[in-house]
Amino acid sequence: MNDCAPTFLLIDIGNSRVKWGLGRQGRIEPGQPFATQHISSDAKLSRHWGKASPPAQVVVANVAGPDIAIHLKTWIGQRWGLTPQFVHSEAQGFGVSNAYFNPEKLGVDRWVALIAARHACNGPVCVADCGTAITVDALGFAGAHLGGVIAPGLAMMRRSLVSGTSDLPFADGEFHDCLARETISAIASGTRQALAGLIERSVRQTSIDLGSEPRLLLTGGDAASIASVLLIPYELRPELVLEGLLVIAGSVQLN
Neighbours of 61 (CB within 10 A): 26
User: Considering only CA atoms, which of 192, 169, 189, 188 is closest in space to residue 179?
Assistant: 189
Task: Please count the other Cβ atoms lying within 10 Å of the Cβ belonging to residue 201.
Answer: 12
Nearest to 83 by CA among 54, 50, 44: 54
Q: What is the 3-state secondary structure (H, E, C) of the chain?
A: CCCCCCCEEEEEECCCEEEEEEEECCEEEECCCEEHHHHHCHHHHHHHHCCCCCCCEEEEEECCCHHHHHHHHHHHHHHHCCCCEECCCCCEECCEECCCCCHHHCCHHHHHHHHHHHHHCCCCEEEEEECCEEEEEEECHHHEEEEEEEEECHHHHHHHHHHHCCCCCCCCCCCCCCCCCCHHHHHHHHHHHHHHHHHHHHHHHHHHHHCCCCEEEEECCCHHHHHCCCCCCCEECCCHHHHHHHHHCCCCCCC
The one catalytic residue in 3, 42, 109, 177 is 109
- Is 137 a known active-site residue? no
Q: Are 186 and 168 spatial neighbours (Cβ–Cβ below 8 Å)?
A: no
Active site (catalytic) residues:
109
